[in-house]
Amino acid sequence: MTNHNALLSDAKGSIGVAGRISVSNQSLFSPGGGRYISIPRKKLVQKLEADPSQTRINTWIEAMRASSPTRSRPGNISSLPESSNDEEDSSWMAQHPSALSMFQEIVEASKGKQIVMFLDYDGTLSPIVENPDHAYMTDEMREAVKGVARYFPTAIVTGRCRDKVRKFVKLPGLYYAGSHGMDIKGPSKKTKHNKNNKGILFQAANEFLPMIDQVTKCLVEKMREVKGATVENNKFCVSVHYRCVDQNDWGVVVEHVTSILSEYPELRLTQGRKVIEIRPTIKWDKGKALEFLLESLGFAHCNNVLPIYIGDDRTDEDAFKVLREKEQGFGILVSKVPKETNATYSLQEPSEVEEFLRRLVEWKQMPLRGR
């Protein structure tokens, strides 16, 4: 079994909590799965000098609100726009059309190539629920994923703990990448997709485990004061869920998190869908996990592979960006509202993901002449 470790420091695109804030020339947050707050660097620095601590908290709250839209986009984008929102929806859908309506275009692009499927879990294979421990996928979705994995190498790439998401999915023969790709394990037995595979184990941040455990304990204790807040230890990262927290208390959540993290400069904060995540400051994310898995499957630097990555979260943007920059494969964003994204196509909800996966299986099962 191959065991890899990566220890490259990189805190880019994250908020520092040890007396400084990392900023780019354009915005505080990297473009991602939600609308993001763009703050000119000069103006931001002036605000930080005035009140660094409070500005940091306020900026987080603004970003949390911006990434928590409540408006759904219409399913029918061909109707005439009646408002600025309708115009925005139509424009966004023109740039990121439905992967279902563009299905034929996608399979045409796969001619002569091996499709490799990458799937996020929460919000993609399962609905977003108030209690993250109850994010179960349906039996129908499980059958759809099982069908896809029969014909294509398939990986589940999630911020969740690898063992936890594997218990949710309950399918052998898949590649499971937990903790945003910092904990990857492939099938221990040979598969038809990778006959030379002797088992893959990649853990990018083992030495951070004691620190993650310490931070988790501190966060659990602090979040007892915040109604609705939950803390989830995902082994190589910690998730603080605020989906059930009153918006008036979001500032308290941020204050507790940043206060604790000020003692751990080796860790960084990132934002997901109604979740704040604490990760090691290493150069590793879902995009790196995608590249690692393609290489492990023997598709590094190949032109005969078509990666398809489906995800709904800001953290999936790292993978979408890799595919766009390589001009290889497609990212598919799962969202009911327009978002800044590097994805090529879109789907509205898990039920559409299931339909897309089923159509892929049906297409693969068709006789060659029929296809």
C-alpha of 74 from chain center: 24
Query: Can you tell me which residue has the tokens 């880019």?
Result: 12
* Catalytic site residue from 51, 89, 120, 139: 120
DSSP secondary structure code for residue 113 in this structure: S
> Could you give the angle at which helices 139-151 and 350-365 cross, rounded to 10 degrees?
40
Contact 332, 141 (CB under 8 A): no
Is 51 marked active-site?
Answer: no
Contact 334, 353 (CB under 8 A): yes
Residue 178 CA to residue 165 CA, distance in Å, equals 8
C-alpha of 206 from chain center: 21
With residues binned 3-state (H G I as helix, E B as strand, rest as coil), the percentages for the chain, rounded to 5, are 40, 20, 45
Residue 39 CA to residue 59 CA, distance in Å, equals 9
DSSP secondary structure code for residue 195 in this structure: T
3-state secondary structure of 293: helix
Q: What is the CB neighbour count within 10 angstroms for residue 309?
A: 28
Beta strand pairing call for 114-119 and 230-233:
unpaired
Concatenating the DSSP letter of every residue in 304-347 gives: SEEEEEEE-SGGGHHHHHHHHHHT-SEEEEE-SS------SEEE
H-helix or E-strand spanning residue 256: helix 250-261
Residue 265 CA to residue 101 CA, distance in Å, equals 46
Contact 106, 97 (CB under 8 A): no
Annotated catalytic sites, by residue?
120
